[in-house]
Structure formats: structure tokens, C-alpha cells
């Protein structure tokens, strides 16, 4: 029920249509939504609009978006590097052993660095 209400609100906002807004309000009254449920639905619709670029993101949402983008970019780069490393390994097996040096360089980039532990006395 709330999803249908949220959908109606979203259409009303995007179309800027008073009739759709009236239908959404009537739907909420018909299904006896509490004020809290209506507020929650409105917050979710506004959040949807922010995440889809229709409204400005909040600062915490911007930070979260940047972190997600960085994470997925890192995954894509790692995937490409692994492919390239496997390519050089195959070349080394087939053609010349000197290609192992290039594969080893890529391997070192892919491996996470181990943090040095501090010894406290």
C-alpha cells in the first residue's frame, strides 16, 4: 500500500499535477494512513528525487555516493589488471620468460600492502 502511495506522490511531483496530488491524498485517507506513514512516504520520495539528480543531495549523501563510486571503480580496475596479468603470464609461458617481470609488477599492485605494526613499550 505504501509503495503505491509513494508512486502516486512521485508522479504528482514530477508531473506537477494537482489532480494526482488529490488522488494521492484521497488514497491516503481511504487506507487510513497515519501522519507518520505519510511523512515517511514523503521522505522516501524526496530521497529518491535527490538520488536521481532532480534535487540536490545532502552532504552526507554526497560523501556516501563518492565512497560507493570509488569502491566500484577500484573493483573495475582490479579486474582489468588481473586480466592483463594473466595475459602476460600466458605470454611468458608461450613466448619469453621476460614477460613474467611485467606480470609480477601487476601482481604487486594488486596485492594489498601489509601494515607495519607499532610496538609500544
Least confident of 13-17, 51-55, 73-77, 98-102: 51-55
Q: CA-CA distance, 52 to 73, in Å (whole number)?
A: 20
Length of the chain: 121
pLDDT tens per residue across span 30-52: 999 999 999 999 899 988 888 88
How confident is the prediction for the chain on average, in pLDDT? 87
pTM of the model: 0.58
Q: CA-CA distance, 17 to 60, in Å (whole number)?
A: 31
Q: Does the pLDDT value for residue 75 go beyond 90?
A: yes
Copy the grid coordinates of residue 22. Answer: 488529490
| Domains of the chain, residue spans | 2-56, 71-110
Contact yes or no for 10/45 (Cβ under 8 A):
yes
Contact yes or no for 92/98 (Cβ under 8 A):
yes
Q: CA-CA distance, 97 to 13, in Å (whole number)?
A: 64
pLDDT at 109: 86
- E-strand spans in 46-114? none
Amino acid at each position: 500500500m505504501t509503495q503505491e502511495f509513494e508512486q502516486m506522490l512521485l508522479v504528482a511531483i514530477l508531473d506537477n499535477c494537482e489532480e494526482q496530488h488529490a488522488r494521492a491524498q484521497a488514497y491516503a485517507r481511504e487506507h487510513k494512513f497515519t501522519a507518520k506513514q505519510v511523512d515517511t512516504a514523503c521522505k522516501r520520495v524526496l530521497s529518491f528525487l535527490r538520488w536521481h539528480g532532480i534535487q540536490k543531495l545532502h552532504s552526507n549523501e554526497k560523501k556516501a555516493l563518492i565512497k560507493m563510486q570509488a569502491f566500484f571503480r577500484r573493483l573495475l580496475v582490479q579486474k582489468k589488471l588481473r586480466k592483463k596479468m594473466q595475459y602476460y603470464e600466458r605470454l611468458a609461458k608461450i613466448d619469453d620468460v621476460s614477460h613474467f617481470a611485467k606480470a609480477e609488477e601487476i601482481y604487486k599492485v594488486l596485492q594489498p600492502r601489509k601494515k607495519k605494526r607499532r610496538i609500544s613499550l
